Structure 1
């Protein structure tokens, strides 16, 4: 199966902060704990093992809560065993998280989870005396419905149209029968189409809320690999979080520490952008279909946009009675995850890792082990037919990552029988003007300005001619350029990475049950390169 690996830094699709992280630049080292190398996991494992947060009673609570979450889920024996293993002291997790996107959303949902699965396999080979469990953390408490309410299929945006408020995981699946109808018509009648139809129907039509539907679909896709799916919106798990919620409400340590770290990040490099700005209180309150921020003013606490109010004493009482009503925002969710899981590593996209970099000093302040951070695998999938077309048109995989205009210019120059590059002529012209400058210095120095102006004018003329010739060649080579550009558009839809736009269903329709095993076989989470994979 033909593959090519391209360093992330050479793709043009990753931010300076991520490129510097991958290069282990010294400017970024204060903002993470250990770099994701196989040999670094032993120290991480021992540090996490010694943490008071991974004691036997806490592990027992985690395992019991997950067994309850899976009570009505038909899963694999491997997943059941992994849940039970979490109660034992020699078991650790590798975690990724994602929103509850409709029908998994973009392709990288698969790549995140497969990265976690494959890393647990590598760790088990390296450290056979320990057990490693892949975790998918569902962002069931998120409230951004617009981001998750659609998926793309064959240039169609299949959107779930409804009003929504509160935590998305609690949303009723009512109305998804309309999406199911449109999706079914677009799929066709092949065996793979029928599987996708049944997966959607069993997930969304036969489950009452978005959390249960998403768990069902992720479990169906990955249960054979022992994936454990965690819903953090759980009263038993939130009880473990109570001391840290109190810290957030009354000491507001996260605001102080993250603000300090954000300033240090921007000082470390002008290219580093702050991903998340902290609030004074980074918690939401969930109840009766609402999810609103908790705010404080002059010692009075309240829920934004509501009449709910507490003083410090009544707020503590509410927290201890109903911890499930207190929900971390994007900045605080990583801490919650690391508190309840015996976790070694978090796997995320570039944007996610960028906000994790803001959190290290906060974790240290509240005495929680900071995990290893790993950039998820990224992949471009192409068919053998597309590969053959690329070969005929002399398109290399690396060419595809170029911006559209640069890609077209490169192809025109390669296809043209005329040398469109006027660099030799420009250099020759510059050399002629060097002689004129020497002459001007020997005669009348006031002549130098006129020489410089003429040089600038003639170089500009050459550039203009070069552009005119390129444009003429584009017209002459229109057919081949158009076919080359069609390939790039197929593999980089909307001029962005395929994994950010396309849904797995398009590829499952073609490759069926071989799709995920093939990805599991090919993705190497610690390789640190972008994979171009011919299916």
Structure 2
């Protein structure tokens, strides 16, 4: 029930990602191993040599503490216990604490991670592989996460926010539940959606706890392990790297060098490093650390430290130091026995800026895998596609291009004036020859007249196309309406819609079908016909 097209054919992915998937030579210096089952053997060996038993013990203890008040599946419990063993490794994805999971691709990230661990377990049966969802609890951009879309309507949580979003109180989400509930129907699936929203956001005190409950509710039975990096014991393990960052500013130097190399290859840059890539974190506060001469300042506060005072602060309160987008990947790879990071195109773009930094810090650089992407098509939409005699790939076109292509296909008259233009150019070739023989100053006038007449034909062609579009309006309206359903706001469905739209219609079968259809190592865009 699924088709695939290349990422390039979708027109929604950057040159960087297309070239990465094609293993272009220009990008090979920016990653260690390309994602294939065979390459995981090398990654396993590298990680095994560079991950300590002590860190493993701290990780397991922290996870047990984070899960202590939760009912969890036997699979998740087994996976947490397995992390204590030397032959256990992780595959990780990360995501913001978006309200009710946010965009649909949250599901694709997690399912890609689950499915890859299962493939690895088959390939390497003497090892254990644990799927990790890293919650971005320390982010502070509330405006990015305080809403989700349901049937193209924005369901928003309005609240004052300061500091790390994971620590936000869930107060006020009862009103959001009431707003959301009014949009749902009265089906059994809708009642389940209401119940998990209610349990997540009205029965848990913080956004971290609510998100952990929700992700566990949806994926716990598959053994997903949910990790909060905002953890004192885990940050204590990372503190030597924090000290190094503050004193030497290694990340700024190395990432800047790599960034310049990427730019010289013609790629756009995702992030720019700061001189210090850490925040200072306390209640209602997450601000950049800045060094000026011999003092360290916390941006927009009165907090300041000498170097010795700052080193003591790290020793006593490692939880107060929060990595930014440049340092967070290193933190992840230091505290996890991780082999692979699964992310979207934007995420992989900034990871590709980090390899030299990892080499200096002597931490193995993980395999980078583009998460699955998909277009979900309902039975009703599939019928419309067939009735319109469409190819699904046409729907990925820009809307104006789609209308033009369709008009040309179904119009009873030929709108393409290429033949006429070619005939005109042949006539002008004779005039050019005549001008050369008689008066060369006449060539410019011939060229101007040629351009004028070609432009005239192009103008007539556009007018005819416009007239035909008016004449075929009913069919084009049906086409545009269908594209708007599948590509809301002319964007990929997965970046706009929320899983609840589909869960209301398909229930638990939605996740089961996605898990069955999505193959993370296939590296193609999936078109899934829901059943």
With structure 2 as the length reference, what TM-score do the two structures score? 0.99
Q: Which residue of 1 aligns with 2:3?
A: 4
Distance 2:275 2:331 in 1: 17
- Separation (CA, whole Å) in 1 of partners of 2:432 and 2:451: 13
Deviation at 1:443, TM superposition (A): 2.2
| Equivalent residues of 1:41, 1:344 under 8 A apart | yes
Q: C-alpha separation between the residues in 1 aligned to 2:335 and 2:311?
A: 21
State the distance in 2 between where 1:427 and 1:36 align: 49
Task: Give me the whole-angstrom Cα distance separating, in 2, the residues matched to 1:215 and 1:295.
Answer: 33
Q: Which residue of 2 aligns with 1:39?
A: 38
Contact 2:152 2:488 in 1 (8 A): no
Of 486, 506, 516, which aligns to 1:511?
Answer: 506
CA distance in 2, matches of 1:210, 1:110: 18
Are positions 1:222 and 2:193 aligned together?
no
What is residue 332 of structure 2 aligned with on the other side?
A: 337
- Between the aligned partners of 1:424 and 1:386, the Cα distance in structure 2 is 38
Output the CA distance in 1 between the equivalents of 2:374 and 2:366: 24
Unaligned runs of 5+ in 2: none
**1:113-132 mapped onto 2 (5 Å cutoff):** 113-132=110-129
Shift of 1:302: 2.1
User: How far apart are the structure 1 equivalents of 2:388 and 2:457?
Assistant: 29
Determine the C-alpha separation between the residues in 2 that align with 1:261 and 1:363. 11
Partner of residue 328 from structure 1, selected from 296, 317, 323:
323
Deviates more, 1:125-134 or 1:501-510: 125-134
1:193 to 165, 181, 190: 190
How many angstroms apart in 2 are the aligned matches of 1:402 and 1:421? 19
**2:69 paired with 1:72:** yes
After superposition, residues 148-163 of structure 1 pair within 5 angstroms as 148-163=145-160
8 Å Cα contact 2:121/2:129 also seen in 1: yes
CA–CA distance in 2 between the matches of 1:114 and 1:456?
Answer: 56
Counterpart of 1:469? 464
Runs of 4+ in 1 over 4 A off after TM superposition: none
Residue equivalent to 2:388: 393
Q: Deviations over 1:438-466 (max 9, x none)?
A: 22222222222222111111111110111
1:290-337 Cα offsets, whole Å, 9 max, x none, are: 111111111111211111121111111111111111100111100000
Is residue 2:79 matched to residue 1:82? yes
Secondary structure of the residue that 1:281 maps to in structure 2? coil
**1:49 maps to which residue?**
48
Query: Counterparts of 2:76 and 2:418 in 1: how far apart (Å)?
Result: 62
Q: Does 1:358 align with 2:353?
A: yes
Partner Cα distance (1:435, 1:303) in 2:
76
Instruction: Tell me, yes or no, if structure 1 residue 247 matches structure 2 residue 247.
Output: no
| Cα pair 2:112 2:519 within 8 Å, conserved | yes
Counterpart of 1:501 in structure 2 is 496
- Within a 5 Å distance, the mapping from 1:221-370 to structure 2 comes to 221-269=218-266, 272-370=267-365
Larger mean Cα displacement after TM superposition, 181-190 or 496-505: 181-190
Partners of 1:324 and 1:244 in 2: CA distance: 13
**Matched residues in 1 for 2:38 and 2:400: separation?**
43
Alignment correspondent of 2:17: 18
Secondary structure of 1:219's aligned partner:
helix
Match of 2:454 in 1: 459
- Between the two proteins, the alignment pairs up a number of residues equal to 530
Following TM superposition, by how much is the alpha carbon of 1:4 offset from its aligned partner in structure 2, in angstroms? 1.6
Q: State the distance in 2 between where 1:174 and 1:69 align.
A: 21
Partner residue in 2 for 1:528: 523
Matches within 5 A, 1:441-456: 441-456=436-451
Distance 1:254 1:218 in 2: 32
Instruction: Name whichever of 362-371 and 390-399 sits farther off.
Output: 390-399
Deviations 1:80-137 (A, max 9, x none): 1001111111111110000000000000000001001111111111111111111100
Deviation per CA, 1:364-420, whole angstroms, max 9, x where unpaired? 001000001011110000111111111111221110110011011011111101111
Aligned-partner Cα distance in 2 for 1:390–1:377? 23
Decide whether the 8 Å contact of 1:395 with 1:484 is kept in 2. Answer: no
Contact 1:98 1:138 in 2 (8 A): yes
Deviations 1:477-533 (A, max 9, x none): 000000001110000000000000000000000000100010000001011111111
CA–CA distance in 2 between the matches of 1:194 and 1:264?
A: 53
Please report how far the alpha carbon of residue 288 of structure 1 lies from its aligned counterpart in structure 2 after TM superposition. 2.4
2:202 corresponds, among 193, 200, 205, to 205
- Name the TM-score, length of structure 1 as normaliser: 0.98
2:183 aligned counterpart, secondary structure: helix
RMSD: 0.8
Q: Distance in 2 between matches of 1:417 and 1:506?
A: 39
Q: What is the alpha-carbon distance in structure 2 between the residues aligned to residue 480 and residue 95 of structure 1? A: 46
Partner of 2:144: 147
**What SS does the aligned partner of 1:38 have?**
coil
Within the candidate set 375, 397, 408, 1:402 is matched to: 397
